[in-house]
């Protein structure tokens, strides 16, 4: 219930300001425990398919709203239930500026990747010094819009207003998807 309340952009500033939650930080773990669900936790999953279907439909509708109102270039795929709608900016500076403004306003935009995979401290030795310039560019210019079912129409309008007002049209790029590497 707390998550349903604090995930709303108007209240997101509160959990985002609690450093012990480490929101927005990325952690890499090679091993993690796999445990059986308790009966109580399993009970919370009752009707999960129906709830997931409703959530996915709402996420797809929100992504479509952003694509239309921000005039984002996208692939031909429609009705994708993005967990967060990834947006590629042309420049890191613009991405960072929009992200900072969003945090100040509490809109819930987020950065996607802190670094390309070959720069993750825990596994960088596995890449034997290989360089991935496209992955680095993606990590530096990608951010994401929230699509969760708790976004209100006003939240969506305010996010669109922020992006339209603060991002020159040449900087707001692609709505990223799996085929982005073909562009």
At residue 115 the predicted structure's pLDDT band, cuts being 50, 70 and 90, is confident
At residue 173 the predicted structure's pLDDT band, cuts being 50, 70 and 90, is low
**How confident is the model at residue 179, as a pLDDT?**
33
User: Is residue 65's pLDDT more than 90?
Assistant: yes
Q: Which domains are seen in the chain, by residue range?
A: 49-182 (3.90.1150.10)
User: Is residue 168's pLDDT more than 80?
Assistant: no
User: Is residue 178's pLDDT more than 50?
Assistant: no
Helix pair angle (92-105, 133-141), 10° resolution:
30
Residue 183: CB partners within 8 Å, gap ≥ 6? 174
Residue 158: CB partners within 8 Å, gap ≥ 6? 9, 105, 107
Phi and psi based region of residue 129 (left: phi greater than 0; alpha: psi -120 to 50; beta: remaining): left
**How confident is the model at residue 182, as a pLDDT?**
31
**How confident is the model at residue 180, as a pLDDT?**
34
Three-class secondary structure assignment of 116-177 = CHHHCCCCHHHHCCCCCHHHHHHHHHEEEEECCCCCCHHHHHHHHHHHHHHCCCCCEEEECC
**How confident is the model at residue 90, as a pLDDT?**
86
User: What does the pLDDT average to over 43-47?
Assistant: 90
DSSP type of residue 37? P
User: What does the pLDDT average to over 74-87?
Assistant: 83
What is the residue-averaged pLDDT of the chain? Answer: 82
């Amino acid at each position: 219930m707390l998550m349903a309340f604090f995930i709303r952009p108007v209240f997101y500033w509160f959990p985002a300001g609690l450093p012990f939650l480490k929101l927005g930080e990325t952690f890499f773990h090679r091993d993690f425990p796999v445990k059986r669900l308790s009966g109580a936790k399993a009970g919370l999953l009752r009707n999960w398919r129906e709830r997931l279907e409703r959530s996915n439909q709402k996420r797809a509708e929100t992504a479509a709203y952003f694509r239309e109102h921000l005039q984002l270039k996208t692939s031909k795929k429609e009705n994708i239930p993005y967990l967060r709608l990834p947006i590629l900016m042309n420049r890191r500076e613009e991405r960072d500026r929009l992200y900072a403004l969003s945090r100040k306003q509490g809109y819930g935009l987020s950065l996607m990747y802190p670094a390309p995979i070959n720069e993750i401290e825990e596994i960088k030795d596995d890449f034997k010094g290989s360089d991935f310039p496209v992955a680095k560019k993606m990590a530096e210019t990608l951010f994401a819009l929230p699509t969760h079912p708790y976004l209100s129409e006003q939240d969506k309008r305010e996010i669109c207003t922020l992006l339209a007002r603060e991002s020159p049209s040449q900087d707001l790029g692609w709505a990223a998807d799996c085929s982005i590497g073909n562009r």
